[in-house]
Amino acid sequence: MAIDDIYQDEVHQEVSSAIQLAARAPSIHNSQPWSCQVSRDAVHLHADPSRWLPATDADRRDLMLSCGAMLHHLQVSLAAVGLQPKVHRFPNPAIEDHLAAIELRRGEAEDDAIRVATAISTRRTDRRPYKSWQLPDGFVRELAGRAADQGAVLRLIKDSQQRAVLLDAIQQAATVQEKTSGYETELAMWTGRHGSDDGVPAASLLSSSSAHAEAERDFPEGDIRTRVGEPDGASLAVLGTASDDRLSQLRAGEALSAVLLQATRMGLASCPLSQPLEVGSTRRLLRDEVLGGTLSPQLVLRLGFPQPSPPLPATPRRPVGEIIRRMPT
């Protein structure tokens, strides 16, 4: 049954709350590059090009992945309040940044959606070193299944040689980006922030005197202190798709969201790594030498068990009123 007029005020409040929760989705440098238009019985997700980071993300891959994560978060948060979402991706080819139209139908709140939605509030991007414990095979299968549900493949990199190639690709990408005009400025503008409602806050970044993960981007000085010499035991996985068009990138973002939320429910720490995919040469290196040419890599993930440390603070988010726009009548 379509949403009735009698429910409109109630539904608008539920939709606003769902968008506010969904906006906790991860995004490149916490740029939150999305906006939503709300109509009588639908939510329309748009990319926000004003929040695109051109020096870091020349081909808009990170922007698309970020919006895909928001799209999956939004499906979960809507289902958790009893609004059944039906997603139409790229509904209007004439409007490039119109990424999805989500039809809303009144239904029952789904228990699984409620449990997954709870993980939205507790998920954190954890850049600290992880324990050296191996991921149980059952955990890996469950995470891979969540990715597959969204049309993507999550492949754990177990082979030591492939892992070495992946780590080298990350270093190569960092070297290329250091020489890219505008990259350092963009990084300084969007990370290491204090008192902002977007960007990566200093409270989420490691201090220079702390132990760092070997796969991490070289961020500005942060506030987190860990024990020096503490080895990082994180597992590395690559999220890939069969193709590499905009739809594949959007679906990879949805898969990213599904994997991260399930990892959170399992008590795992997680951290997306986009840097080696932001440079064409290292993206091809991952495709050919790590994935054997079988997939188009979209993102790398650090996964593992967290060290006993204080919980990380939630990263800031923009007010929901800045995200929601009313549809023209």
CATH number for 98 = 3.40.109.10
Domain that holds residue 99: 5-122+315-326
What is the mean pLDDT of the segment spanning 32-37? 97
Residue 227 lies in a domain: yes
309 domain-assigned? no
| Predicted confidence (pLDDT) per residue in 141-155, tens digit | 999 999 999 999 999
pLDDT of residue 327: 63
Amino acid letter for position 224 = I
- Nearest CA to 168 out of 176, 178, 156 is that of 176
In a domain, 130, yes or no: no
Is 190 a domain residue?
yes
Indicate if 172 and 96 belong to the same structural domain. Answer: no
Asked whether residue 127 is domain-assigned, the answer is: no
- How far apart, in Å, are the Cα atoms of 184 and each of 53, 152, 180, 190? 11, 32, 8, 10
169 with 62, same domain? Answer: no
In the chain the beta strands, taken as DSSP E runs, fall at 34-38, 42-47, 83-89, 98-106, 153-156, 191-193, 200-201, 235-241, 269-273, 296-304, 324-326
Inter-CA distances, 25 with 13, 45, 70, 132, 298, Å: 20, 13, 5, 27, 17
Task: Determine how many CB atoms are found less than 10 A away from the CB of residue 86.
Answer: 11
Residue 9 scores a pLDDT above 70: no
320 to 13, 16, 36: CA distances (angstroms): 12, 7, 10
95-123, pLDDT tens digit by residue? 999 999 999 998 888 788 899 999 999 99
Answer yes or no: do 163 and 21 share one domain.
Answer: no
**E-state strands within 48-158:** 83-89, 98-106, 153-156
pLDDT tens track for 64-86: 999 999 999 999 999 999 999 99
Nearest CA to 24 out of 231, 317, 319, 327 is that of: 317
Of 61, 252, 76, nearest to 147 by C-alpha is: 252
- Is the predicted pLDDT of residue 297 greater than 90, yes or no? yes
> 42-47 and 34-38 as β-strands: parallel, antiparallel, unpaired?
antiparallel
**40 and 99 co-located in one domain:** yes
Structure tokens at 267: 């008590």
285 and 190 together in one domain:
yes
pLDDT reading at 4 higher than 60: no
> Is residue 325 scored above 90 in pLDDT?
no
- 8-22 and 111-122 helices cross at what angle (nearest 10)? 50
Q: Is the pLDDT of residue 40 over 90?
A: no
| Domain co-membership, 297 together with 319 | no
Q: Is 262's pLDDT higher than 80?
A: yes
Q: Confidence band (pLDDT; 50, 70, 90) for 212?
A: confident
Q: What percent of the chain has pLDDT over 90?
A: 84
